[in-house]
Amino acid sequence: MNPVEIKKDIYWVGVLDWHIRDFHGYSTPKGTTYNAYLAMDEKIALFDTVKKPFLKEFVASLSRIIDPKRIDYLIVNHVEMDHSGAVPEMIELIQPEKVFCSPMGKKALIQHYHREDWPFEVVETGKTLSLGRKSVSFLETRMLHWPDSMMSYIPEEKLLLSSDGFGQHWATSQRFDDEVDAGELMKHAAKYYANILMLFSPLVRKLLAKVAELGIEIDMIAPDHGLIWRSDPGSIIEAYGRWSRQESTRKALVIYDTMWQATESMAYAISEGLKAEGIDFKLFNLRLNHRSDVMTEVLDAGALVLGSPTLNNGMMPTMADLLCYMKGLRPTGKIGAAFGSYGWSGEAVKQITEAMTEMNMQVEEGVRVQYAPRKEDLDKCFELGRQIGRAMNAAQSA
Ligand code: FEO
């Protein structure tokens, strides 16, 4: 796609990846973008590059503005390969005067590309680079979401080049928030937060506090994926505040797998119990829903009710997959319970309960049923739903 001027003499020079459907385990049904930015001034600076397979397209796009050889500085805000994959070839082509990166960025670039001879210039938070009329102020954001991560701020334009932060995996021909449906944009941003940043929520809260403390004025946020926040950057900052506090809504998720619909019928009965207490619920059959979509819903859910039949003395592989993924993303403040049908050994409910306890959930006693549930078993499930609903109501009013 052709470059797009986002501020005077500052261009989006990214590429669209319409076809990616799996981003290291995160489903991307609408593709993504790899955003890079070019600032034209007395010195010309390129902020980040793109995933390696898009190198040719990237160079063609840059060439519509200038001969890439005229670029003076390469600024590497993040070393993950969707942004640095084209760095070796770009350095070869540009022969930049300097490659700016964080201290951990230098280390990671060397560890990835084994080139200690590149003209590194290590920058830390508060370090400023003059481009001429404009300047760049660097802000390290270590572990948001890699050790090397940093953001670049151009104060003259009140522009924050935010690396992965505030991004979304969504390929569109539009480049700005006000050109797309606001609800869909926020859903993609929430999915990104839930699946990439949730575990770093305490650091997100610190970063937002730091930005407020430094009095950084932000008129535009340009992330490395998806749309640029032009008309309402405050909306995504406010959402990050909410998500990083992991504020729960009156929403419970009933997430399960099933072999012969016994566990599924328990899920329905639990849902009815939740509804009886005025709780909104959503059902997710793990055969039909991707783990990353489930995690997006986990972000603001108050309770997780997880069900699995027992298979070979354990839980279903889909549930093990979800729990492994969820544990890494560290959701906090959830009420939990397990349920499931079994034939003769029945370990799944216990194993799920243990996994939820390890995640510091407030775990209610679950329900286990041998083979097909009778009416009294489904009544127990209904009562479990009510019990969770009452616990959620108590938590909301506390
Ligand atoms: Fe978009 Fe962490 O890379």
> 372 in helix, strand or coil?
coil
Ligand 1 nearest-atom number relative to CA 34: 1
Tally of CB atoms within 10 A around 313? 12
Percent of the chain scored above 70 by pLDDT?
100
Please report the pLDDT score of residue 349 as a whole number. Answer: 98
Q: What region, left, alpha or beta, does residue 330 occupy, with left being phi > 0 and alpha being psi -120 to 50 degrees?
A: left
Please report the pLDDT score of residue 26 as a whole number. Answer: 96
- 192 catalytic per annotation: yes
224 lines ligand 1 (CB under 6 A): yes
Catalytic, out of 48, 80, 148, 264: 80
Ligand 1 nearest-atom number relative to CA 145: 2
83 lines ligand 1 (CB under 6 A): yes
225 lines ligand 1 (CB under 6 A): yes
Q: Which domains does the chain have, with CATH numbers?
A: 4-244 (3.60.15.10), 252-397 (3.40.50.360)
Name beta bridge partners: 282: 253
For the cut 90, the answer to whether the pLDDT of residue 397 exceeds it is no
Residues 331-351: tens digit of each pLDDT? 999 999 999 999 999 999 999
- 24 catalytic per annotation: yes
48 lines ligand 1 (CB under 6 A): no
Please report the pLDDT score of residue 160 as a whole number. Answer: 98
For the cut 90, the answer to whether the pLDDT of residue 76 exceeds it is yes
- 80 catalytic per annotation: yes
pTM here is: 0.97
Ligand 1 nearest-atom number relative to CA 224: 1
Residues 78-107: tens digit of each pLDDT? 999 999 999 999 999 999 999 999 999 999
Name residues whose C-beta falls within 8 Å of residue 15's C-beta, 6 or more positions apart in sequence.
1, 33, 34, 50, 51, 54, 57, 58, 61
